[in-house]
Amino acid sequence: MKISYKIVNVLSLCLLVSGCTSKEQTRDEFVQGLVEKMTLDEKVGQMTQVDKRMLDSESDIAKYFLGSLLSGGGSVPADNTPGGWVDMINSYQKQALSTRLKIPLIYGIDAVHGHNNVVGATVFPHNIGLGCSNNPDIVYKVNQATAVEVAATGLHWTFSPCITVPKDDRWGRQYEGFSESTEIVTRLTHAAITGYEDALDVFGGKKIAACAKHFIGDGGTTWETGSLQEGMHTYKIDRGNTKLTEEELRKIHLPPYLEAIKAGVKTIMISYNSWNGVKCHGSKFLINDLLKEELNFEGLVVTDWAGIDEIPGDYKSDIITSINAGIDLVMVPGALYGNSHYKTFIELLKESVEEGSIPLSRIDDAITRILRVKYDIGLFDDPYGKVDHASQVGSEKNRQVARNAVKMSMVLLKNELNVLPLKKNQKVTIVGSGANNLGMQNGGWTVEWQGRSTPDFKILDNNNDEKLDLSEVTSYFKSAYDAKYDAGSANGFFKNMDKDSDGDISMDEFKKSKLESPYQPSGTSILNAIEGAIDSEGLITYDPRAEDLSKGGVILAVVGENPYTEGVGDNPTIGLSSFDTAILERCYESGNKLVVVVLSGRPLIIEDHVSNWDGLIAAWLPGMAGEGVSDVLYGDYSPTGKLSYSWPKNTDQLPLNEGDAEYDPLFPFGYGLSY
């Protein structure tokens, strides 16, 4: 009997392998047939990715045989609803399918913590929180739910997960990484990839593509080696130089990519950073020799946004260097922000092939990889989105996944005399910039590239006269952003709300503006979540500026960072804002018990404050489901999160990571209490 079972198992395995081989052979024959039919113009078009905002005309998709479009942060349809996305992408797809060979577009987006560009989508905790859960199951569920919502809006590809290993808390992308630990990042990578790429049963097996990024060493750059100027912001570490030996690079930053390839990831994005002075986008050793040949990655290699532009030399030499290094698809993305026009890219790439600077064999390899991905996710069979699928966006099922993810990601760092969990029959005064600010809960990459701070009317109304003037708004933003304060943004915030241009914003104008520019209609702030969890009236007092703190009860201060991403978030001080610091000082003077919830994309410098706090929870950037924060605060869920990053005492220690020769953190890697 045992022998029979073994025979059956062997036969089953053979059939499985045979089936996979047969499918791959069918795919490869189909793709090869297409490649042989394609003209050089068609091949060059397939290697071109354009942000939809930068199209001169929709007809250019057909005219130039464009292979891919994307929506960068804030690149949304006029109707930024799930159905609006389906309609927009189908319109673009119709252009692609009108061409001679009818090769469909693949449309990509940064769905990095949910389908975060889409108003109404479920927005989950950023990776820093998921890393503190260290739970592959919840990572899988978060990414599977995200994949459902991406597919439901007609998109095909998410530029996620970020499997970086960040080593310096000052980096503006710290929160995009699961951990400073290579082991934790690697452990969560398989679930992150398969969560996105596994077949979606709700849509009959439809698939999307994931993108492991950024290859390689993006989290290991050295402070002050960044140089890009973005408006008033200088990138201090983002896109900088990673100074490591090859052995160190392989040990620290390569293992997550080995796991991603093992998981079957379809695409990998190259990083902006340099490795020992050489831009990754131009490194033949990293892309062709290491990634494609040594690691045998057979998927598609894509650049980051205008990534080839940072290679030394003129634009034509950038194209030649990057394509010969192994780049398959170039996120051009267009000329809106001063980068090269996609028509210029197309012209120069074609010219480079015709003159022999790029061999046709390299072009054919790139096209083969691009078409294989399109085939594998079913675009040739089912290229159009379906409006009726849009109902899956923001579903109650996905919202529950978000709530669970929030609960699992929170880290209890201090709990003097068991001040936590709070009791549902005790009086609590809630203060702080983050208590009723969904923008702070969500962080960057939410609706807009940099996210959007969403202070409520009450916190802005400094003199409590039920109207806002410009001085109140600018005063708030100055103290909330400190050195990152942007006067233009503050003035724009005010003018957009001052509908009648009379110099004052009424409550009605404030509400109307929020309706006209929706951010997260279904989001639940921490304040609203707590109010929803407490049945009795009069127990919760919202006093955002801590102006009327009576004796007795407990104060809950929700403080932290305003949203940012990439180099805009590079920050030498990473401390609390002067706004929140002033509020905390009032709390200390009151003599009441004080519980602090920190909303941040990294550990913040709090050494001078923490001795005054009875309770401390790191909530990171939990997203829209504030209910998960309330669940932990009130003991409906006992915290299980552990620090996936070391928490420094001061900036002189930075960068600080477990295993450093001089390791003396405020809270060590792996620390976390429970009830």
The active-site residue out of 304, 376, 570, 631 is 304
Where b means 16+ CB within 10 Å and e means fewer, 586-608 reads: bbeebebbbbbbbbbbbbbbbee
Are 600 and 618 within 8 A, CB to CB?
A: yes
Measured distance CA(642)–CA(646) in Å, rounded: 10
- The DSSP symbol for 403 reads H
Coil, helix or strand for 111? coil
Measured distance CA(366)–CA(348) in Å, rounded: 17
Measured distance CA(357)–CA(350) in Å, rounded: 10
Q: Alpha helices of 390-520 — where are they, by DSSP H? A: 396-409, 438-442, 457-460, 470-481, 487-497, 507-516
Where b means 16+ CB within 10 Å and e means fewer, 515-526 reads: eeeebbeebbbb
Largest CA distance in the chain: 88
DSSP 165-216: ----TTSTTGGGSS-S-HHHHHHHHHHHHHHHHS-BGGGTTB--B-EEEEET
Catalytic-residue membership of 176: no
CA 348 to chain CA centroid, Å, is 32
Q: Where are the beta strands (DSSP E) in 235-388?
A: 241-242, 267-270, 274-275, 278-279, 300-302, 330-331
Tokens 């103290």 sit on residue:
479
Catalytic-residue membership of 570: no
The active-site residue out of 566, 580, 614, 631 is 566
Amino acid letter for position 531:
E
Catalytic residue positions, numbered: 304, 566
